[in-house]
Amino acid sequence: MFIKIDKKTLEEEIINSEEMVEVLEHDMKPVFVDDALMDMVTSGYVHRSASAIYRYKA
Predicted local distance difference test score (pLDDT) of residue 34: 96
Predicted local distance difference test score (pLDDT) of residue 25: 96
Stated pTM of the model: 0.90
Half-sphere exposure of 39 (CA within 13 A, CB side): 10
DSSP classification of residue 56: E
- pLDDT tens per residue across all 58 residues of the chain: 999 999 999 999 999 999 999 999 999 999 999 999 999 999 999 999 999 999 999 8
Q: What is the pairing mode between strands 12-15 and 47-48?
A: unpaired
Structural element, H or E, at residue 4: strand 2-6
Predicted local distance difference test score (pLDDT) of residue 48: 97
Predicted local distance difference test score (pLDDT) of residue 58: 87
